[in-house]
């Protein structure tokens, strides 16, 4: 008998599985609203001009391909800290932030999970929003955490259940890790405002919970600083320890380069140094060190005042297009006699919890070759001026 005879088939990823089904669909007019990638008006992943300029310079100045340090490119880590916390942040001046370059945001999550599990031991618990990105559950469960949930999305109002969220957090045991989406909540598109963030942080502080902020979409809602409101409020709150992971996949359109980072905040410089040592030890056991190219691209843009300005304009263009697609979808749905979908315009980022049922989603796929997740989550960035009316007409049809 084979050594692997007892291996069971792992469940497929619902998002990647949907994409596979979409690719296999022979329909000439199929539309994929399940994808988690920003695409432009032509349906292409954009190549940012600011990034292209750095890449051309790197190609000209060819260097040996040695290993990066375990924690990655030093300039990348410094510039990441400044982007997340603000260049003048007292946390940075005090040396309280331990940052390491990681292989995308997913590796940042897993490395952080492993480090936190070592600290918390057998009783490690993490509270995750209901709903959340599915990989959050898998990563922390695999790392040995007990998974808890807190109320987040209110289906009736298509908005934030702030009362339920605060009540659930107020019942958590001290030391529980609380996973938070900094902005552009995936999958709902529903975010707290600044006042609600302060309420959340007050409960986290009072209950002695550990905030763990995942920011994959900085700049995709209101702008770089505004989208970091949760992080900036945490930094000013007096909470001595928290965690931030971030990704540049969306904001730099560098999905395949896997550029992310993990930042762990300690109470002082010495604690941050000890945290960095544990981060590096953990990275060494998983992938040893990160790759060079993507980090060099990001650092090249962020480290140049001219290129950073150009990048912010390009990022602003992507953000504006998403806002326009939200408004356009609401307008076209109304024109086709659909129920009120005005809430879509108040949501943030690439994704929207559309309110469509599983049955309606399946009708969209089977009758109109329009693909969305069974939860009703759609990617607003996949809309464009050419398919907007088609999508709105189909959604209106399945709502009748």
CA 368, distance to chain mean position in Å, is 29
Largest CA distance in the chain: 63
Q: Could you give the CA distance from residue 382 to residue 44 in angstroms, rounded to a whole number? A: 9
Q: Could you give the CA distance from residue 389 to residue 396 in angstroms, rounded to a whole number? A: 10
Pairing assessment for the beta strands 259-265 and 97-103 based on DSSP bridges: antiparallel
The per-residue DSSP string of 28-83 comes to TT-EE----S---TTS-----HHHHHHHHHHHHS----PPPPTT--HHHHHHHHHH
Options 214, 221, 227, 311, the catalytic residue:
214
Based on the number of CB atoms within 10 Å of its own CB, is 118 exposed (0-12), middle (13-18) or buried (19 or more)?
Answer: middle
366 classed as catalytic: no
Options 125, 197, 221, 250, the catalytic residue:
250
25 classed as catalytic: no
205 classed as catalytic: no
Pairing assessment for the beta strands 351-353 and 377-379 based on DSSP bridges: antiparallel
Is residue 243 within 8 Å of residue 264, measured between CB atoms?
yes
Pairing assessment for the beta strands 97-103 and 125-130 based on DSSP bridges: unpaired
Beta bridge partners, 31, equal: 370
Q: Could you give the CA distance from residue 214 to residue 246 in angstroms, rounded to a whole number? A: 6
3-class SS of residue 265 = strand
Strands (E) across the chain are located at: 31-32, 97-103, 125-130, 146-151, 153-154, 159-160, 177-181, 210-215, 242-247, 259-265, 351-353, 370-371, 377-379
Classify each residue of 257-278 as buried b or exposed e, where b means 16 or more C-beta atoms within 10 Å of its C-beta.
bbbbbbbbbbeeeebbeebbeb
Write phi, then psi, for 99 (nearest 5 degrees): -120, 140
Which residues are annotated as catalytic? 133, 214, 250
């Amino acid at each position: 008998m084979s050594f692997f005879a007892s291996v069971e088939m792992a469940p497929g990823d619902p998002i990647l599985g949907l994409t596979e089904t979409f690719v296999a669909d022979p329909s000439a007019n199929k539309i994929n609203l399940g994808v988690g990638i920003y695409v432009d008006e032509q349906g292409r992943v954009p190549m940012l001009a600011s990034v292209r300029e750095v890449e051309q310079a790197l190609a000209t100045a060819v260097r040996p391909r040695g290993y990066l340090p375990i924690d990655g490119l030093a300039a990348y880590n410094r510039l990441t800290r400044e982007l997340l916390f603000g260049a003048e942040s007292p946390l940075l001046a005090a040396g309280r932030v331990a940052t390491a370059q990681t292989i995308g945001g997913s590796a940042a999550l897993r490395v952080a999970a492993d480090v936190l599990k070592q600290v918390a031991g057998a009783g490690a618990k993490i509270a995750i929003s209901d709903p959340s990105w599915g990989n959050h559950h898998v990563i922390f469960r695999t790392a040995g955490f007990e998974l808890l949930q807190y109320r987040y999305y209110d289906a009736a109002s298509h908005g934030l259940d702030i009362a339920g969220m605060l009540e659930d957090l107020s019942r958590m045991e001290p030391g529980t890790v609380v996973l938070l989406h900094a902005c552009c909540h995936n999958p709902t598109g529903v975010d707290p405002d600044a006042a609600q963030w302060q309420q959340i942080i007050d409960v986290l502080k009072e209950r002695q919970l550990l905030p763990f902020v995942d920011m994959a979409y900085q700049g995709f809602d209101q702008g770089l600083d505004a989208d970091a409101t949760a992080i900036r409020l945490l930094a000013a709150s007096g909470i001595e320890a928290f965690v931030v992971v971030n990704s540049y996949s969306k904001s730099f359109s560098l999905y395949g380069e896997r550029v992310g980072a993990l930042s762990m905040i300690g109470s002082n410089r010495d604690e941050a140094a000890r945290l960095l040592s544990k981060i590096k030890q953990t990275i060494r056991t998983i992938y040893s060190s990160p790759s060079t190219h993507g980090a060099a691209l990001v650092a090249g843009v962020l480290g140049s005042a001219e290129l950073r300005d150009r990048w912010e304009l390009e990022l602003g263009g992507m953000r504006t297009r998403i806002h326009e697609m939200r408004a356009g979808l609401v307008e076209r749905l109304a024109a086709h006699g659909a129920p009120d979908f005005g809430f879509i315009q108040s949501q943030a980022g690439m994704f929207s919890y559309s309110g469509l049922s599983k049955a309606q989603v399946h009708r969209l796929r089977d009758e109109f070759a329009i693909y969305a997740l069974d939860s009703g989550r759609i990617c607003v960035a996949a809309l464009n001026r050419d398919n907007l009316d088609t999508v709105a007409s189909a959604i209106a049809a399945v709502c009748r």
